[in-house]
Structure 1
Amino acid sequence: MKITVDVYDMKERFVAMDRDYYTFEGLESLLDYYDEIDENMELDCIAICCDCTEYGEGAACSFDDLINEYGYKYPVEEWLEDNALEENEFDNDLYIDSLVERLEDETTVLHVANGNYIVFAF
């Protein structure tokens, strides 16, 4: 027997499995993403947690974690040079946007309604 889950059901299941890593908006993005692939897909919280990470406000990982984990894909020095900026002109938000653009060339990145990003492992 299969049941249809909504984002509230997903939240409950992630919490029950001690995997409350995603914001509500992040779960909405994931539900939309997986429904697009196959609306009859079985919900596997652990597989989702292995496949992707949400970065940003209210998520288990911060934007600093995103930079620490993927910054090597677009080093700050290279970003500054590409944008003809000095080190003292560094803008964290603009850098994160540029880093995410680079990541989108290599993997799936979901833009969450709350301004966070969900990055799929690659």
Structure 2
Amino acid sequence: MSPSHIELPKDMPSPESEGCRVTREILDRVGDKWSLYIIATLANGTRRFNELKREIDGISQRMLTLTLRGLERDGLITRTIYPTIPPRVDYELTALGMTLWGPVMSLVKWADANKLAISAARAHFDTKSETT
């Protein structure tokens, strides 16, 4: 079935609508470089900042801070501060954040099931591009 034969839902909003803009902003958040790593890590339970930093290979302290703030702002994680010395801060998924896990795993499974086809398509495209 070619893409031109996909039947779109009747209630699908126009790409110029407010609903699409908001959806794009949400997808930008969860589709950025680090958010899914953080969500996946927190799916296994509450973590402290340094635990997240250790478990997410390659993320800088600044980027972890910015991403955590964005996820907290979007209501996907909570930040709990304990009045100890030094202060202890825990991060965990909210109920809303947990609902994201299912769709994310569906996308991961889709990517895994189609990685060979995508790799072949890329190789075909690259070969074609080199000859033109």
With the shorter chain as reference, the TM-score category is: under 0.3
Q: Higher RCO, 1 or 2 (CA under 8 Å, sep at least 6)?
A: 1
TM-score using structure 2 length: 0.25
Is the helix fraction higher in 1 or 2? Answer: 2
State the structure with more CA Rg.
2
TM-score using structure 1 length: 0.27
